[in-house]
Structure 1
Amino acid sequence: MTDLPLSGLRVLDFAQFLAGPVAALRLADLGAEVIKIERPQGGDLCRSMVVNDQRLDGDSLVFHTFNRGKKSVTADLKRPEDLADVRRLIETADVMIHNFRPGVMERIGLGYDAVKALNPRLVYGAVSGYGAEGPWKDKPGQDLLVQALSGIAWLNGNDGDGPVPTGFAMLDVATAGQLVQGILACLVRRGVSGRGGLVEVDLMSAAIDMTFEQFTCFLNDDSGQPRRHAQGNANPYQPAPYGVYRTADGHMALAMAPLARLAELLACPEIAAFGQAQAFARLNEIKSVVAGVLATQPTKHWLDILEPAGLWCAPVLDWPAFAATPGFAALDPVQVIRTEGGADAKTTRCPIRIDGRMLRNPVAAPALGADTDAVFGSLVAAARA
C-alpha cells in the first residue's frame, strides 16, 4: 500500500529471533520496505525454530509470524565483497536494526559511528539483553532469562508458589514496541533537522519499565519484596478483592470493588464487616471469604449480578472460548498469509489502524535470499544511471 505512513522508507533488518524482527515487522506493517539481511548458510536461526512441528513451506511457522511481508538478502558479513555490497545498501536506507551482542557490529565495521559516516540521515536501532555496558552485557538476552533476573517471576502466582514466568515472550514484544517508538521519534526529528540517530533498547530496561507501577512501590516501601496474595494473586500491591477466583464451573476475575457494595451484591455481610480500611491489611482473609462465596455458583450467575451493578469483573477464558466470543469477532484480528509456493497459514494482523483502516499483509516471510539479486542489482543500476 503506497499511502501508508512509512511508505517510501527502507529498513534493513539484521536481527534474529524476536525483538528486533518484531520491531521491523511493525515498520513493515506501517508501509516501510523491510529488507532482511541473512547469513547465506541457514539465514535467521529462527527459520529452524519449529514449535509443535508447525512449518510453512519448510520454514518455522513462528518465523513467518514476525517476518511476513519482508524481503530477504543473503550476505556473509565476514566476506569483504559482501560487506561492501551491504555498505552500499546502507547508504540507501532510512533505518537499520540489529540485535547482535554489544561490540559485534563494531568488530564487523558496522557499528553506529561507522554507519553514521556512510549515511548521516540513517536511524540506527540496536537491541540487547542488558545494555551495552555493565557486567551483564555479554549474557544471553533471552526473554525467560531476563524475567528470571528482573524479579518478574516473583510477581506471578500465589504466595507459597515458586516463581512463575509469563507463558509468552512478553519482554521481547515490549522491547520491540519501545524500539519502534524510538525509531519513529528519530524519524520525526530527521524530518526537521535532517539528522539521523541512535536508538538503543534492551530487554532488562523493558522489564523494569513494564513493572514501573509495582517497582515504584517497592522503591518507596521499606518492607522489601512484595508478598503475593495467598490466593487469586493478580497484583501484590492491589487490595482485596482484586484477583482471580474459582467459581462453580470455571474462574472469574474481580478488579477493584468497594467491600460494602460487594458484600451487598454477594449477600455476604461478613465481607463488609472487615471494613474498607482493612482491604489491604487483611486482604488474604477477605479474599478467602470472597472465594468461598464465588465458588458456590457458576460464573454467569455472578456476572449477571455484578456487571449490571457496575463492578469490574470478567470470566477467565481459554483461547477456544475467547476466539468464539463476539468481542473477538468484532476486532477481526486474524489474517491469512501465503507463501510464494501457495501454502497458507493463519496469524494475527497488525493491531494498529491508520485512517480507520485495518492493516493487513497477506505475504508470508521470504525464502532465504529471494531478493538478493534484485536488491543488489538495483544498486548497480542506480550507480550506472
Structure 2
Amino acid sequence: MSDGLQTLPLSGLRVLDFAQFLAGPVAAMRLSDLGAEVIKIERPQGGDLCRSMVVNDQMLEGDSLVFHTFNRGKKSVAADLKDAGDLEAVKRLIKTADVLIHNFRPGVMERIGLGYETVKGLNPRLVYAGVSGYGTEGPWVKKPGQDLLVQSLSGIAWLNGNAADGPVPTGFAMLDVATAGNLVQGILACLLRRGTTGQGGLVEVDLMTTAVDLTFEQFTCFLNDNNRQPVRHEVGNANPYQPAPYGIYKTANGYMAFAMTPLKVVADLLDTPAIAEFGQDKAFSHLNEIKKIVADVFATQPTQHWLDILEPAGIWCAPVLNWVDFVKTEGFKAAKLVQTLTSEGGAKALTTKCPIRIDGSAPMASAVGPKLGQDTEAVFAEVAASAEA
C-alpha cells in the first residue's frame, strides 16, 4: 500500500508463477504490484535458477539481488512436478487460481501434465499465460529464447550504433521486459472478458514477436521499401529513418541529444549557413553531410553552452546523462522512482518501483523475494482444507 491507497485493483486474485529468469517473473511481479497474490512454484532443489544468477557479486540473504528485484512480495511453494504427490497438490492449487504463468519451452507443460487443455478442465475460469522465445510453431521453436539472441536474430542489433560500428545490442534485457508488458496486457484483457463470460483463456507471447512489434515503425518502413536494409548514419545515428539533425552528438565535455528540428532553424541557431543551403527536402538524402557539420559545431563548446542556446528557442534537446549524473538531477528526485525492499532479517535493498499509478498513487512493495519453499506448507494446507470443505 502507498499514500493511502486502500485496495489495489488486483486484490483477491491468485497468480501461480511457474516461470524463471525474466519475462514471466516480471509479468507476475507487475500483477503482484497491482495487488494480486503471486505464488512461485519452484523446484525443491535450488528453485528458480535466477536465485543463483549473481550480477556484480550482489547478494541478499543468500539469493541473487536481481532475483529479489522481480520476485518481490511473492510467496514460494517448492514442488517437484515429476513427483505424483506434488503434482496432485499443485493441481489442487491450480483449481483455486485465477492466472497461471509459465515460460517452459513449447511442449514441456504438456509432458508434465499441466498443458492448457488439461488445466482448462481443472479450472475453466483460469487465464493460462505462456511465454516463449519464438512462438509454438516453426523451425526456431527449440532455440533458446534469450534476450540477446533474439535481439540478434530480429535485426535490432543492426539498428543501433553508427554506420562504421558492428551490431550493437541494448545494454539491458529490453525484449524480456517488453514481453512481460505484453503478457500482462493479455492477462488483464482475458480477466476482463472473464467478468462477462465466466471463462478464462489462453494468452501466448514470445520474444520474437515482441521484437518486431517494438520496431513496428522502422520495420514498416523496411517492408514498404522493397525490403532494403536501413542504412545507419555515419554520425549521431539514433534512428536510421529519421532525417538530420536527429541524433546524439559529442560536445566539448560530453554528449547531447538533438531531436527533430527544421534545417533553417538549425542553421540560424548554430550559425551554420551551409546547412540552410541544403534545404529541408535534403534533410534525409544528404543527412550524413548535414550531421557532420552539426557534429563539428557541437564539438567546439560544452553541452550547457548549446542547451542555453537551444532550449530557450523551444528546440527538443537534452544532455546525455550516465546513471551517476541522472540520479543527482531534480527530475529524478521529483519522480520518486526508487523503493526500499526489507527482508525479515532486516537486510535492505534499493530497487525500482511500479511505474503505474492507481488513483494518484504508485503501489509499493516492501518485501523482498521469498525464501525457497517458505510458503509450501501453508499454501498446500489451505488448498487441502478448502478441497475438503
Q: TM-score, normalised by structure 2?
A: 0.98
List runs of 5+ in structure 2 lacking aligned partners: none
The CA distance in 2 between the partners of 1:295 and 1:311, in whole Å, is: 18
- Equivalence for 1:37: 41
Measured in 2, the distance between the counterparts of 1:184 and 1:161 equals 41
Answering whether residue 11 of structure 2 is matched by residue 7 of structure 1, we say yes
Could you tell me how far apart the structure 2 residues matched to 1:202 and 1:228 are?
27
CA distance in 1, matches of 2:345, 2:86: 28
Aligned mates of 2:140, 2:297 — CA distance in 1: 48
User: What do the CA deviations read for 1:279-332 (whole angstroms, capped 9, x no partner)?
Assistant: 000000000000111111111111111111111000000001000001101110
Q: 1:340 is matched with which residue? A: 344
Corresponding residue for 1:331?
Answer: 335
- The residue number in structure 2 matching 1:137 is 141
Query: Within 2, Cα distance between the matches of 1:272 and 1:298?
Result: 24
What residue in structure 2 maps to residue 305 of structure 1? 309
Q: What are the superposed Cα offsets for residues 331-369 of structure 1, whole Å, 9 maximum, x if unpaired?
A: 101011011221100000001000001211010000000
1:221-260 to 2 correspondences below 5 Å:
221-222=225-226, 224-260=228-264
Equivalence for 1:290: 294
Matched to 2:317, the amino acid is C
Amino acid at match of 2:33: D
Q: In structure 2, give the amino acid aligned to 1:203.
A: L
For 1:314, which of 298, 306, 318 is the aligned residue? 318
- In structure 2, what is the Cα distance between the partners aligned to 1:325 and 1:35? 38
1:232 CA drift (Å):
0.7
Residue in 2 that maps onto 1:18: 22
Q: Residues 68-113 of structure 1, C-alpha deviation per residue, up to 9 Å, x if partnerless?
A: 0000000000000000000000000000000000000000110000
Report if the CA contact (8 A) 2:92-2:384 is conserved: no
Residue 271, structure 1, aligned to residue 275, structure 2: yes
Matched, 1:366 2:370: yes
Could you say if the C-alpha distance between residues 263 and 223 of structure 1 is closer, same or farther in structure 2, counting changes exceeding 3 Å? Answer: farther
Q: 1:49-64 residue pairs with structure 2 within 5 A?
A: 49-64=53-68
Alignment pair present for 1:152 and 2:156: yes
**One-letter identity of the residue aligned with 2:113:** G
Shift in Å at residue 223 of structure 1?
A: 6.1
Which residue in the other structure is 1:208 paired with?
212
Letter in 1 for 2:185: Q
| Matched residue SS, 2:71 | coil
Normalised by the length of structure 1, the TM-score is 0.99
Q: Gaps (5+ residues) in structure 1?
A: none
Q: Provide Cα deviations, 1:44-80, integer angstroms capped at 9, x if missing partner.
A: 0000000010000010001000000000000000000
Match for residue 90 of structure 2 among 45, 61, 86: 86
1:375 and 2:387 equivalent?
Answer: no
C-alpha separation in 1, matches of 2:288 and 2:226: 21
CA distances 1:168-214 after superposition (whole Å, capped 9, x unpaired): 00000000000000000000000011010000000000000000000
**Aligned sequence identity (%):** 74
Distance 1:308 1:125 in 2: 49
Q: Write the mapping of 1:158-177 to structure 2, written as runs, cut at 5 A.
A: 158-177=162-181
Show CA shifts across 1:131-170 (max 9, x none). 0110000000000000010000000000011100000000
Moved over 6 A (4+): none
Q: CA RMSD in A?
A: 0.7
* Amino acid aligned to 2:144: P
Number of matched residues? 385
Partner letter of residue 268 of structure 1?
T
Aligned residue in 1 for 2:77 = 73
Alpha-carbon distance in structure 1 between the residues aligned to 2:51 and 2:78:
14
